[in-house]
Structure 1
Amino acid sequence: MAFDEERYVREVLEPAREAGGTPPADLGARYQLGEAMTARDVAETAKQVRQCWRRARGMLKYRRLIDRMEADHARFAPLFAAAAEGDLTPLRAALRDSHARAGRRLDDAARRLDDAAGPLRLLSPALLSTIARSVGVGQEEALRLAAARSIDVREPDPLPRAAPYSGYGRAREALDALGLPHLGRFVFGDDCAGMEVLDDVVVPGAEPVAEAVAAAEARWAARPRGPWTVSADTVLTALRGTPDPATLVRYDIVARLRERVREHPYDDTLLRHATGELDLAAADARRLIFAVRGESGGVPSGPAARLRELVDAGEIHAAVDYADALGPQDLTGEAAELATEVRARLAGAVRLRDRARAAIDPDDAWIALRDALQRVPDLPGAADMLARLAPYPARGVRAEPQGDGVGLTWQPSPSRAGRVVYDVHRNGAPLSTTERTTARDDRPPVNVPVTYSVVARRDDASAPPAVAAPVVVRPEPGDVRLTAGDGVVWGRWTRPAEASRVVVSRDGLPVQVIDTGFRDAGVVNGTAYVYVVAAAYPGPEGEVFTPGVRHTVTPRGLPRPIAGFTLHPDPSSPGTLLAWYDEPPSGVVEFVALDSAPQWTAGTTVPLADLRAASRAVPSIPTREGQAIRPGAQCVLLAVTIAGDLATVGGHLEHVNLATPTGLSAQRRGATVYVGFDWPPDVPEVEVRWAGRDMLVSSAAYRAQGGVRLEAPESEALTVEVAPTALVRGERLCGPPAWVRLAGRVPVRYDLLREGPAWRRTVVVEVTSDRPVRLRRLALVLKAGHVQPKSADDGVLLDHWTDVDLPARLSVPAPRQDKPYWLRCFAEGASPAGRRWSPGDDDFDGIADGGIMDEDTAGEGPADGGEVALIDPPVRRMKVG
C-alpha cells in the first residue's frame, strides 16, 4: 500500500504534538508498518516515513517532536537494518513489545481519567489535556477514552457570586424559621424533587417560576396571620424585589451547596445532599458540585482540613488530641468549630463509658458502650470492655433422638442487646453455630451416652453453657419394606452397623428372621397384620431393643391379568381415549406408560414398587365400559391389575399419538359405499377396514378421489372403520379408529296400475322384492300439480297398509282429482343414508346386529331388521294428466 503522507500527519504527527510532543509508543503506528509487509516493504515504508519527518521538521510546531523521533530512531536502526537484509524477527518482536507498551499507556490514561472524574463523572478540558500530555496520548484519544467511561468533558458552569437581592440574608433567616431547606420548597411546594437550576429553574410537572410565585403568594394570603405568615411575607418580598425570581432560587441553592462544600465532604456525600436535601435532579447536582468544586481552588489544607479528615475517618479521639496540640492562632473559624464539636463528642462518650463501668446489668453496659463507640469509634478501652460483656445464658436445653440423629431445642437468651448466637457442643467439642433456637446432629455416636450443651455468645463474649440431659442414639432398621402376596408376607431392611441383630414380630408374636429379611407364610388372605421391625443393641445389662418400625399389611390373592384391551377415541374430549376390557374378578386395573415393550411377559406378578419405578402413571377416569385415559405422547400402554403391593402384568399396545378422523359418514349407492371424513392433522395415511378387508389410503389419494369408495353387497350389514396409521421404526402402527355401521338394504319395487271401467276404476299397487320381507307400513300419497311428493306428509294420504308381506297386491279406489296429479308410495323407516356411531352414544346398545338407526327414523326399520330401499316405477305410472 502506498504511503499517504497527509494521512500520516493527520493521524500520527498531530496527535503526538497535542500529547506534549510524545512520539507514539506503538512502532507500527510510528512507522506505518503492517503485519503482512515483506522485508522490502518495511525498508521502503521506513524510508518514506523518515523523509516525511524531514519535511515536517521545517514547521516549528513539529520540530520538537521530530527531534525526539529521530533520536529514538537511532535505537531502532539495527532492527530496520536486519529487516533490509531479510530478517524481520527482531523487528516483529519490537513491534509486539511496543504494541503492549501502547496498550499499557492507554490503560494508565483510562485509570487517571477515572480517578480525576470521580463519582461526578465530569472533567474540565484543561485537566483532560494535562492528563493526556502526562501520559503521552493525543487529545482525541483522551476524549474517546473519556466518552467510553461516561465522563463528560466540559467547562464548569458559571455561578452567581453575589445575591441578586440585597436583603437575601433576612430571607434566608425567614426560610429557616419556616423550616424549609431551600427557597425552591417555598416556591414550588414540598414536591419539587428533580428540580433543575442551572440552565433554567424548572420542576417537573410544575408551572413556571413566575406563576409558582403567584400561587405561593395566594396560598400564604389565605392563611390566618401569625409568626409563620410574617416570615412568609419576608420571603415573598425578596421574590418580588428580584427582577427575575429564578435567579434568587438559583443563588439560594448555590449558596447552600457552597456552605456544604466548605466542610470538605466526599463527592458521594455532596451528591446525596444535593439530590436529597436540595431536591436537585441528578444531572444538575453533578454539574453544580463540579462548578462549586472548581471555585474552591483545589484540595483544602490547614488545621480545619486536617480536623475534618480525622472526623470523616471516625478518629474523634485523635482529632481532640490534634486540636489540643494546636495554638490559639490556629483554632479560628471552621477549625475552632470542629474542635468544639469533637471535644463535646468525646466528653459524651466518656460519660457513657463510665456509666457502663458502673452498670450491674451487662445489657445496660453493652448499650451504653455501643452508644459511646458510635460517638467516638476510637474511644480508648471501650471496644475491649464491649468484647467482655457476655449475654445471659440459654435455658431449657433438650436433646431427643430423631431417627439416625438428635434434635436439639432450647429457650433463647434473655439478653435484649446485641446480636446473640448459639454455639452447640457435643461432648464438649464444637458442633455448629446458629441464631435459631433449634439444631440437629445428623451423625451422633451410636449406642453410647452423648451430652449436648448450648453456649450463648455476643461477639467474642460467651455465657456459661446450658447442658442437656445425656441421650443414647440407637437407629431403627433402615429401608424397611414389607410386601404382601398370596398367603405370604415378606420383608427386607438394612441393619444398622452398630446393631447386633434385627427382630420382627407379627401382632406381638415373633417371626423367624433370615439375615436381612423374613418370609411369613402363616397368614390368611384378606386379614390385616401389624408387623414391628426393631433393632437390638448390646448394652451393659444385655440387649436393648428399639421401639421398632411398624407396618400394617394385608395379604391378598394374586391379581389376575387383563388379556387384552381396545382403544377408542372419546368424541366428547379430544386427546382422551376409551380403554375397553373385561373387568377382572379382583384387584384394580391401572394403565401405565412405558418407553418400549414391557420387560415382563403377560401374567407376570411383580412388586408394585418395581412397576412404579419402571413406568409412568397415565391419568384415567373410570367409565361404564372401562377407563378414559390420556396417554399423551407416543408410548407403550400397559394394563396392570393391582392388589395390595403386587401388580400383575396384562396386555399392552403401542400407542401412537395419531389424531382420530372426525365427521365420519358412509352412504350406500347400490353395491358401492361412499365414505367421507375430515382428514386428521399430521397423519400421512389412514387404514380403512370393512367386511374383513382393509386398504391404505393416503391424503393425496383421498383428496384426488373426493373420498373413499368401497364395494360391498347391498343386502349385507356393514361396519366401516377408519384408523390413522404411520410407520414407526419400520413397523406400521394404528391409532384409535372411528367407525360407522350400515344396515343391509332390501330393494323393494312397486308399480301403479289402473283397472276397471271408468265409473269404477281402481288403483292397484303391486309390491315385489328379491326375497320375502315384511313392510311395517306402506302409504300411498296423492299430490296435485306438476311436482311429485317428496315425503309421506307432502300431499294427501289416499290409503296406508301395515305389516305388509311381500309380494303383495293392494288396491284403492281411483281418486276424483283434477288433472294433473301425482301418486307415489312411501315405506316408513326407509332411508338412503347411514348414521355415524361412536362409543358413548346413549342409544348405542339398542342397535341390533345387521340393523341401522338413521338420523331421521331411528328404531323404525322393517320387521326383519333390514333397511328398505323403495324403488319408484316409471314417471308415466306415477303422473296422471
Structure 2
Amino acid sequence: MAFDEERYVREVLEPAREAGGVPPADLAARYQLAESMTARDVVDAAKQVRQCWRRARGMLKYRRLIDRMESDHARFAPLFAAAAEGDLAPLRAALRDSHARAGRRLDDAARRLDDAAGPLRMLSPALLSTIAKSCGVSQEEALRLAAARSVEVREPDPLPRSAPYAGYGKAREALDALGLPHLGRFVFGDDCAGLEVLGEVTVPGAPPLADAVAAAEARWAARPRGPWTVSADTVLAALRGTSDPATLVRYDVVARLRERVREHPYDDTLLRHATGELDLAQGDARRLIFAVRGEGGGVPSGPAARLRELVDAGEIHAAVDFADALAPSELTGEAAELVTEVRARLTGAVRLRDRAMAAIDPDDAWIALRDALQRVPDLPGAADMLARLAPYPARAVRAETQGDGVAITWQPSPSRAGRVVYDVFRNGAQLSSTERTAARDDHPPVNVPVSYSVVARREEASAPASIAAPIVVRPEPGEVRLTAGDGVVWGRWTRPAEASRVVVSRDGLPVQVIDTGFRDAGVVNGTAYTYVIAAAYPGPEGEVFTPGVRHTVTPRGLPKPIAGFTLHPDPSSPGTLLAWYDEPPSGVVEFVALDTAPPWPAGATVPLADLRAASRAVPSIPTREGQAIRPGSQCVLLAVTIAGDLATVGGHLEHVNLATPTGLSAQRRGTTVYVGFDWPPDVPEVEVRWAGRDMLVSSAAYRAQGGVRLEAPESEPLLIEVAPTALVRGERLCGPPAWVRLAGKVPVRYDLSREGPAWRRTVVVEITSERPVRLRRLALVLKPGHVQPRSADDGVLLDQWTDVEVPGRLSVPAPRQEKPYWLRCFAEGALPAGPRGAVSAGDYGVEGFEGTMEDDVAGEGPGEVALIDPPVRRMKVG
C-alpha cells in the first residue's frame, strides 16, 4: 500500500504535536503498520515513515516531536531488524504491548477528565487541552472521551464584574433586613424555585420579570407602613434605578455565590447552596458555579500570552529571541517577569553546555547536558552533543554453552549517567538488545567457532565492542532415557543432527550401540552402574567427543505384585483409609489412582514412566500393617510394586468417597436395640450389620423412624457396624464402616422372704439365674413410706455383699422399722461362674475377648446385670 504522507501528517504528527509533543503510543499508527503486512512490507513502511520524519523536522513546530520519535526508534530498531530477517514475532509482541499502553493512556485521560469535571460535569477547553497534553492524547480523543462521560466542554459564562446600580450595597442591606436570601425571592415571592438568571430572568410558572416587579410594588404598597416597608422601598428604588432589572437580579445571585466560593467548599456543597438557598435551576447553578470557579483575573494576552505559550511549550531559546525583538515599553508586568525567567534559564543552560564541552569524563558531560536541556529543551546543539556521548564499554564478556544454546554474560558498563542498553552480536550480526547483563542464543551454529560481542549504547552513541573468547557449540544427545530391568539396562536418546554418531560407556567400558539405543545384558541385579552417553562430531583432526550425559541406574529383579488389599477407616484421621496387605519380598509398594479399571492385567510389569503417565499419585504414610492413604474423590485404587524403573501391577479396588457415619450410639431396651448416628453427607443408603445379619437403610427411612431398630437377645453381646453404601455401575460398593460394641445383659432374679420366730426374724434373699454367674456387688436397701427406692443410695443400706455366687441364698436380721416400708435389692456387674478374677469369653460368643470386671461394669465387657424384682407384695411391708 502506497504511503500517504499528507494523511500521516494530518492523522499522526499533528495530533501528537497538539498532545504536547508525545508520540503515539500505538506503534501500528506510528509506523503505519497493518496486520496483513509481510516482513518486507513492514521494513518498507518503517523506512518511508522515517523519511517523512526527516522532511517534517524542517518545520519548527514538529522538530521537538520528531526528535523524540527518532530517539524512541532506537529502542525499536531491533524489532525491525528481526522483521528484515523474516521474524515478525518480536514486532507483533511490541505492537500488542503498545496497543495496551495506548489504551492505558486513554484510561488515564478519562480518569483525569472525570476528576477535573467533578460533580459539575463541565470543563473549559483550556483545561481539556492541558489534560490531553499531559496524558499524551489528541484534542479530538479528549473531546470524545469527555462526550462519552457526559462532560460538557465550554468556556465559562461571562459574569458581571461590578454592580449595575451604584446603591447596590444599601439594597443588599435592605434584603438582609427583610430576611430574604436574594433579590429574586423579593421579586417573585417565596415560591421561586427553578430561578434562571443566565439569559432572561424567569421562574417556571411565574409572570415575566417586569410584571413580577410591578406585582411586588403593588404588594408592598398595600402593606401598613413600618420599618419593613422602608427596606422594601430601598429594594424597589434599586430595581427602578436600573435600566435592566435582570442585570441587578443576576449580579445579586453571582455576588452571593462568589462569597460562598471564597470559603472553598466542595462542588456538592455549592450545588446544594445554589439550588436550595439561592433557588437556582439545576442547569444555571452548574454553569454559574463553573464560571465563578473559573474566574482568575482574566486571560493574558499580548506579549505575555505569547511568552507564556513558548515557555509552556519548552521553547525557552525561542522565547528569549522573541523577547529581544520586543520594544522596552512592551516588557511590563507579567511579560517582564517571564523575560527575566527565560533569560536566567538560558544563561544557566549555556553555562552547563560549556562545562560539558570542556569535560573529560563523558558521564560528567552527559549529566551537564541533561541538566541544560531540562532548563532549555531547545538549546542549540545540546541534543546532538548529548546523542554523541557514548558510555564506557561493557566488561568481562563470557560465552558458555548451556544445552543446545549459549549463555552470554558480562559486567555492566561503569557509566553512571543515562540509560545504557547492551547490543549483543554473534559473528558481527546483532542478536538482541537488553538492559540486563545477560543474554541467550538459542540457535547458535553447531561445530563451528562462534564469537560473541557486547556493545554498550546510550541513546545513539555506542561504546567499543567487548568481545568474548570464541567457543564451539556441540550439543549433547537429547531425550536420554535409561531403564533398568531384571539383569538388563535399556537406553534411548535423540542424536543431534550435526553429530556423526553417539558412543556409550558403562563405568569406563564401551557399550555396543544400535542406532539410537542400546541393550546391556552384562549387568548384575542390585549393582549401581554409571553410563555416559556422548556425541561425536567431525573435526579437522578426527572426531571430537562431548563430555557426555551421565546416568546412574541399578538393575533389579522383577517386583512381586500385591495380590489384594483391604481398606479400613482411620479413626484418628477423617478421610484417611488404612490399606492392609502382605508386604512383598522386594520393591516398594505404592497406591495410585485411576479413573477407570487399570489397562494392565494383574501381575504385569510395566515401565514406571508409563504408570506415572496413566495414573495419579495418592498421598500415603507407612504404617505397621500397610499404609495410611487419602484417595480423595471416587477413583480406582491400584496397588503397584516398584523396583527401579519398573512397576508390577497388583490388585485394585473401586473407591467411592463415601463418608463414614459419625456419632454412632446404641442402646438396649429389652430385646430391641436402638441405633443412632449423624447421617453422612451425599450418602444415599447405609448398611447395618449385627449378629451375622445385615440391613439396608435409606436416609428417608432413617429420618422417618428416628433411627434404626434391631432385634437381638438381651443376653448376647453385639458388634454393630454402619457402613455407607451406594450403587456404582450396577455394583454395590461400601465405604469404611463405623462400629460400636454392646455388652450382653445377664438376667438375675431375686425373691424376699421372712423366716424365724418374731423375736429372731430374718430377711432372706434368694438369687437365681438361667446360668451360673457371679455378682460383683449386691445391696439390700430399706426406704420408709409408700415410695420404693430408685437406687442403692435412695434409702437405708441394710447390708451389702460382694462376689456373690448365683444361684445363692443370703440373709440379714429383719429391721426394726415402723410400717410401711420397702425392701429392694440393687446389683452391679455380672461375670460367668468360675475361678475368681478370670473371664471366660466363650460363654458370651465373643471370640478372643479378654477383660476385667471393670470392663463389665463400664459396659465394654461381655455381661451386665439385669436384676429382676419380685412382686410388689414381696417388697412392700405394711
Question: What is aligned with 1:775?
Answer: 774
CA displacement at 1:703 relative to structure 2: 2.8
Aligned counterparts of 1:146 and 1:865: Cα–Cα separation in 2? 86
Give per-residue Cα distances to partners, 1:67-123, cap 9 Å, x unaligned: xxxxxxxxxxxxxxxxxxxxxxxxxxxxxxxxxxxxxxxxxxx9xx9895442799x
Match of 1:858, SS?
Answer: helix
Structure 1's 507 and 458: CA in aligned 2 closer, same or farther, altered over 3 A? same
Alignment of 1:744-759 (within 5 A): 747-751=747-751
Structure 1's 695 and 159: CA in aligned 2 closer, same or farther, altered over 3 A? farther
Structure 1's 397 and 475: CA in aligned 2 closer, same or farther, altered over 3 A? same
Structure 1's 541 and 315: CA in aligned 2 closer, same or farther, altered over 3 A? same
**TM-score, normalised to structure 2's length?**
0.60
Aligned counterparts of 1:517 and 1:438: Cα–Cα separation in 2? 37
Question: What is aligned with 1:442?
Answer: 442
Question: What is aligned with 2:127?
Answer: 119
Alignment of 1:39-78 (within 5 A): none
Question: What is aligned with 2:295?
Answer: 291
CA displacement at 1:350 relative to structure 2: 4.0
CA displacement at 1:418 relative to structure 2: 2.0
Aligned counterparts of 1:794 and 1:480: Cα–Cα separation in 2? 90
Identity %: 74
Query: Retained in 2: the 8 A contact 1:453–1:468?
Result: yes
Structure 1's 418 and 704: CA in aligned 2 closer, same or farther, altered over 3 A? closer
Aligned counterparts of 2:765 and 2:530: Cα–Cα separation in 1? 85
Aligned counterparts of 2:149 and 2:312: Cα–Cα separation in 1? 32
Match of 1:148, SS?
Answer: coil
Query: Retained in 2: the 8 A contact 1:852–1:858?
Result: no
Query: Retained in 2: the 8 A contact 1:862–1:868?
Result: no
Query: Retained in 2: the 8 A contact 1:641–1:649?
Result: yes
Question: What is aligned with 2:704?
Answer: 704
**Unaligned segments of structure 1, at least 5 residues:** 1-109, 123-143, 162-246, 255-282, 832-843
Are 2:852 and 1:858 aligned? no
Structure 1's 483 and 814: CA in aligned 2 closer, same or farther, altered over 3 A? farther
Question: What is aligned with 1:451?
Answer: 451
Give per-residue Cα distances to partners, 1:550-605, cap 9 Å, x unaligned: 23333444444444444444444444444444444444444333333333333333
Match of 2:301, SS?
Answer: coil
Are 2:501 and 1:501 aligned? yes
Structure 1's 579 and 515: CA in aligned 2 closer, same or farther, altered over 3 A? same
Query: Retained in 2: the 8 A contact 1:352–1:372?
Result: yes
Question: What is aligned with 1:469?
Answer: 469
**Paired residue type of 1:429:** A
Query: Retained in 2: the 8 A contact 1:727–1:733?
Result: yes
Aligned counterparts of 2:856 and 2:848: Cα–Cα separation in 1? 9
Aligned counterparts of 1:663 and 1:146: Cα–Cα separation in 2? 64
Question: What is aligned with 1:741?
Answer: 741
Structure 1's 367 and 701: CA in aligned 2 closer, same or farther, altered over 3 A? closer
Query: Retained in 2: the 8 A contact 1:566–1:580?
Result: yes
Structure 1's 460 and 783: CA in aligned 2 closer, same or farther, altered over 3 A? same
Structure 1's 416 and 671: CA in aligned 2 closer, same or farther, altered over 3 A? closer
Question: What is aligned with 2:150?
Answer: 148
Aligned counterparts of 2:381 and 2:147: Cα–Cα separation in 1? 50
Question: What is aligned with 1:365?
Answer: 365
Alignment of 1:376-775 (within 5 A): 376-714=376-714, 716-743=716-743, 747-751=747-751, 769-770=769-770, 773-775=772-774
CA displacement at 1:717 relative to structure 2: 4.5
**Paired residue type of 2:382:** A
**Paired residue type of 2:511:** V
Query: Retained in 1: the 8 A contact 2:570–2:577?
Result: yes
**Paired residue type of 1:491:** G
Aligned counterparts of 1:333 and 1:670: Cα–Cα separation in 2? 114
Match of 1:306, SS?
Answer: helix
Query: Retained in 2: the 8 A contact 1:743–1:852?
Result: no
Match of 2:700, SS?
Answer: helix
Question: What is aligned with 1:824?
Answer: 825
Give per-residue Cα distances to partners, 1:257-289, cap 9 Å, x unaligned: xxxxxxxxxxxxxxxxxxxxxxxxxx9997667
**Paired residue type of 1:824:** C
Aligned counterparts of 2:148 and 2:466: Cα–Cα separation in 1? 63
Aligned counterparts of 1:570 and 1:590: Cα–Cα separation in 2? 18
Give per-residue Cα distances to partners, 1:510-555, cap 9 Å, x unaligned: 3333333333344444433333332222222222222222233334
**Paired residue type of 1:384:** D
Structure 1's 643 and 858: CA in aligned 2 closer, same or farther, altered over 3 A? farther
Match of 1:537, SS?
Answer: strand
Aligned counterparts of 2:288 and 2:508: Cα–Cα separation in 1? 87
CA displacement at 1:453 relative to structure 2: 0.3
**Paired residue type of 2:677:** F
CA displacement at 1:756 relative to structure 2: 6.4
Aligned counterparts of 1:780 and 1:374: Cα–Cα separation in 2? 109
Aligned counterparts of 1:696 and 1:570: Cα–Cα separation in 2? 23
Question: What is aligned with 1:313?
Answer: 313
Structure 1's 830 and 860: CA in aligned 2 closer, same or farther, altered over 3 A? same
Give per-residue Cα distances to partners, 1:183-206, cap 9 Å, x unaligned: xxxxxxxxxxxxxxxxxxxxxxxx
Give per-residue Cα distances to partners, 1:5-35, cap 9 Å, x unaligned: xxxxxxxxxxxxxxxxxxxxxxxxxxxxxxx
Match of 1:514, SS?
Answer: coil
Aligned counterparts of 1:795 and 1:520: Cα–Cα separation in 2? 94
Aligned counterparts of 1:875 and 1:402: Cα–Cα separation in 2? 101
Structure 1's 152 and 702: CA in aligned 2 closer, same or farther, altered over 3 A? farther
Query: Retained in 2: the 8 A contact 1:146–1:152?
Result: no
Query: Retained in 1: the 8 A contact 2:831–2:853?
Result: no
**Paired residue type of 1:858:** D
Question: What is aligned with 2:272?
Answer: none
Match of 1:386, SS?
Answer: helix
Match of 1:292, SS?
Answer: coil
Match of 1:828, SS?
Answer: strand
Aligned counterparts of 1:344 and 1:860: Cα–Cα separation in 2? 107
CA displacement at 1:442 relative to structure 2: 1.8
Structure 1's 816 and 288: CA in aligned 2 closer, same or farther, altered over 3 A? closer
Match of 1:373, SS?
Answer: helix
CA displacement at 1:869 relative to structure 2: 4.7
Aligned counterparts of 1:662 and 1:745: Cα–Cα separation in 2? 26
**TM-score, normalised to structure 1's length?**
0.60
CA displacement at 1:408 relative to structure 2: 1.4
Query: Retained in 2: the 8 A contact 1:159–1:291?
Result: no
Question: What is aligned with 1:7?
Answer: none
CA displacement at 1:300 relative to structure 2: 2.0
**Paired residue type of 2:371:** D
Match of 1:385, SS?
Answer: helix
**Paired residue type of 2:595:** D
**Unaligned segments of structure 2, at least 5 residues:** 1-116, 131-145, 164-254, 263-286, 833-840
Aligned counterparts of 1:334 and 1:747: Cα–Cα separation in 2? 118
Structure 1's 642 and 745: CA in aligned 2 closer, same or farther, altered over 3 A? farther
Query: Retained in 2: the 8 A contact 1:750–1:768?
Result: yes
Question: What is aligned with 2:788?
Answer: 787
Structure 1's 862 and 350: CA in aligned 2 closer, same or farther, altered over 3 A? closer
CA displacement at 1:145 relative to structure 2: 7.4
Alignment coverage as a number of residue pairs: 612
Aligned counterparts of 2:755 and 2:342: Cα–Cα separation in 1? 142
Aligned counterparts of 1:323 and 1:382: Cα–Cα separation in 2? 22
